[in-house]
A and B are shown apart, each in its own frame.
Chain A
Amino acid sequence: MDKAKSMVDKKGASGPFHVNNGQSQKVFHSHVMVATNGSCCSSSSNAFGSSTVPSGSGTFENMHHLHRGDDAECSGSPAKRCKLRRRTESVRKHRPPFPWFGMDIGGTLVKLVYFEPVDITAEEEQEEVENLKSIRRYLTSNVAYGKTGVRDVHLELRNLTMCGRTGNLHFIRFPTQAMPRFIQMGRDKNFSSLHTTLCATGGGAYKFENEFRMMADLELLKLDELDCLIRGLLFVDRVGFNGHPECYYFQNPSDTQSCVKKPCTLDNPFPMLLVNIGSGVSILAVYSENNYKRVTGTSLGGGTFLGLCCLLTGCETFEEALEMASKGDSTNVDKLVKDIYGGDYERFGLQGSAVASSFGHMMSKEKRDSISKEDLARATLVTITNNIGSIARMCAVNEKIERVVFVGNFLRINTVSTKLLAYAMDYWSKGQLRALFLEHEGYFGAVGALMELLKTTEDP
């Protein structure tokens, strides 16, 4: 594929797993809140190399200039000012000051939810600092931020009431690799002057805590990722997806022809086995909003799928890997029961079409030499998915839970895996277990973090 074209193509859709092709220097182009004309602090131009704003992708100049003005105002002791204002405002309104963010910094992706108030009064608008206004405009008027930041517009929750305010909840993601630049941007734009509490969860909340403090004068409110995940999930399920259910399952999972996606509700969600597939996998048994345990986890997750795909096929993004997988045939790579036994292994009730050995055919050099990248991608996807299904099923049986909810960004635009999980749960449990999925897959941690922001400030 033409390189330049691919870069452009990837914008908007891709990003989370962007891998540099090594042709140029780091080509990170997170323009979320970053000035690119070299007028900000000297280190940033080094950090971002030769990047310039690709035409049409950045609406940042505007914001940058506004920001600079703000910077000038805030020179002195921004931290002190910030604290002061935060206190006065929260006392006045019993709710946290805008902007409202919830952030989940995972191993591969940063998930950001942003609440855009739509009930802003004229008076409020008047009072709103330019800085804040520009953030709102920037985030809501773009769907892509730089090369790798993406807003999942189709997931936007509209006219949501949170903490007495009505607004839209936006879902944004960018690669964790971009964190240092994100933090630097926070400093450059004097984010700390916005006197907001930045609620963050995921491992990155711990990993980047110091950098937030040192670089951007921002104190993170660190939150446990599993607490956030559950709280966020239950909230989104409760409010629904713009009038539709958040949850869905597959009808006739064992029949590829008649297998169809069906919406459903999690009316009585407990107990549920919650399988969160990010870079790695965590499996939780959830008995109520506050009562859950982490049953186990596995390191074979989304990161493994993409990591192996990159090594095996030379692909660079999750989207690319999935695209290849959708065209491949894993039976050229995997050894099936029938490849060994000529048919079913009746002694143990194993169907001939069951996979006996993932990548088993690849023990043979001839087959290795003749295999396509698409087949390899597909086999990787099927292997990882089946394995997660298998562990999840065992956990469900051990924990005596019949409802298995799969979430996490591994499932994003990944119908191969969702259908396979639905099939595996159904087939191996002889219909006892049902696999459920949620539309907002990987964003629940971030939503949970946002809710914590609203909760903390509501409490006296």
Chain B
Amino acid sequence: MACKVTEFGAVREVWAGFSLGHETCCSLRNRVDSTKTQRFVIGCQQENAAFPYPDTGVILTFQLSLLFLVVVELITNIFFGKRELDVSAGGRKRIMMMIRRWRRSGDFLRSACKSLTSLRQKHNSMSPSVSGFVNRYESKGKTFESNAWNDHNRELDHHSCVGGNLWMMQQYKSFGSSSSSASKLQRNPLFSSLEPRDVSFFNEILGGEKYVVQDEERLETANTDWMHKYKGSSKLMLLPKTTEEVSQILKYCDSRSLAVVPQGGNTGLVGGSVPVFDEVIINVGLMNKVLSFDEVSGVLVCEAGCILENLATFLDPKGFVMPLDLGAKGSCHIGGNVSTNAGGLRLIRYGSLHGTVLGLEAVTANGNVLDMLGTLRKDNTGYDLKHLFIGSEGSLGIVTKVSILTQPKMSSVNLAFIACKDFLSCQKLLVEAKRNLGEILSAFEFLDNNSMDLVLNHLDGVRNPVSSSENFYILIETTGSGETYDREKLEAFLLKSLEQGLVSDGVIAQDINQASSFWRIREGITEALQKAGAFYKYDLSLPVEEIYNIVNDLRGRLGDLANVMGYGHLGDGNLHLNISASEYNDKLLGLIEPYVYEWTSKHRGSISAEHGLGVMKANEIFYSKSPETVALMVSIKKLLDPKGILNPYKVLPHSFFSP
């Protein structure tokens, strides 16, 4: 607050306050009547959201009368007091009070407006995070028309809710140090702490210390996520062997209000598989049996702890393949894949897990075992509840068995590694590939020059298949049953693209070894990122034509501070945006977030295409989902898990569950 309140300054303040209030009313009105443009244009994508707000006429009258009073006071000061405004302590104080009153009136009016679901955000104090960065959500897409008011207004904004949206959300992010990046969450005091009697109970039902792990070293690994970004402080890890044991564990934990974290291969990239505080880890790794496999229909029924690669190896001699494939296949569990609705490299061909999972068995928070383990391709009896669990990231129940439809293995696999000059060519190539390669297309990935350089620098035994260095590289894989036919089709398509100038250079793998080396480049980017130092990882779904624009924009924004890389499943419109720097840096983080989320939101994208929300993006869900939808999600969560013991602090915004 300025110490010296000049006459003009005060008026400016007052005017800002007024316009703030005014524009709030107007934007409220804009919800219904969006034709008027105001001083601050706020684009709201929830144009049809209908929620109660007090009559704008009432508000306007109220504000106007307050303004009148303030102006009167100012005028009396000027005319009947000194020429200048009374800037003595007393006078300053009075003016400050006036303005504060003004602001409070605005706040009051806003709090008077009822939110749609009465699940209102708490008005926490606006203490900024360690990074000095305070974020609040407003309606998607916001442009400030008037620049003169910008800087000033931003300060005001911190104390008010600008725009038509009535939620105020704050995040606290601190990726301050790479070793422990706990968010500024508070441990929910409603959860109990672990006691010796709990441990002895678990010992009893699980049958010994082998399955009740309290060893420091093992807990250290279980508490830390794959990227070493999130670290919990759990004191206990349980290794159940059967669904019955899982059920008993959860029943007990629910009765004792002990929070739990379901854990599989711990390869998640958003901190969803590790505890935030001292939640008990339930690792299903010992439940790794294949229960049955039907060689005619291709339906595989297995326990949730089966490692994906092992399942693929099991299916290979039988002539089948798993419908998903991802870089983490050597460690990830199928239960985890299902719980996070993993995408992967072959989604373009086999579809998402929502389509290929035929059934699952899950245990809810109170120990109830839901047997939805159907093996039928079609079953329209009632609500298909398994879809709730697929992608719920362990927050609705622990998946214990999975029934999945596998695909026949096709012998003819061809892989081409192509270089393109610009992103427009990549897009056109995608369209052409879908049309010309059609049914045999099984993967379409892209990576940019920076990613290629990173991989070449940090991984051994990798060379660029294409002799020249280009801006973009594309991997096209085809899988079919006729070797010669597929080969010719791919060659014809690529040669035509070469002639048309879409492709500047490319190679076709001649054997499986060459194919693996091409895949190594694409799949090794994450590994190379780890070796290169600190990295910030984002997983966005965007319209294909926009995908690379965000990379360019972010590059311009960050300049020399960091190396921005874009790669991903171009065929699915999924970008993996990664920013590599020498060390973690809050200033850098502040430049990246929420810019990335807002950019994505503006283009109607998803802030998490396949990685899920976990703990990293738990509070950002509103960038991609409407408040009504989220409210329903919260209701479902509270229905299935009233005490909130399953994977707390994740997936859904924290404020819905804090006491």
Q: Do A and B truly interact?
A: no
Residues of B within 8 A of A (CB): none
On A, residues with C-beta under 8 Å from B are none
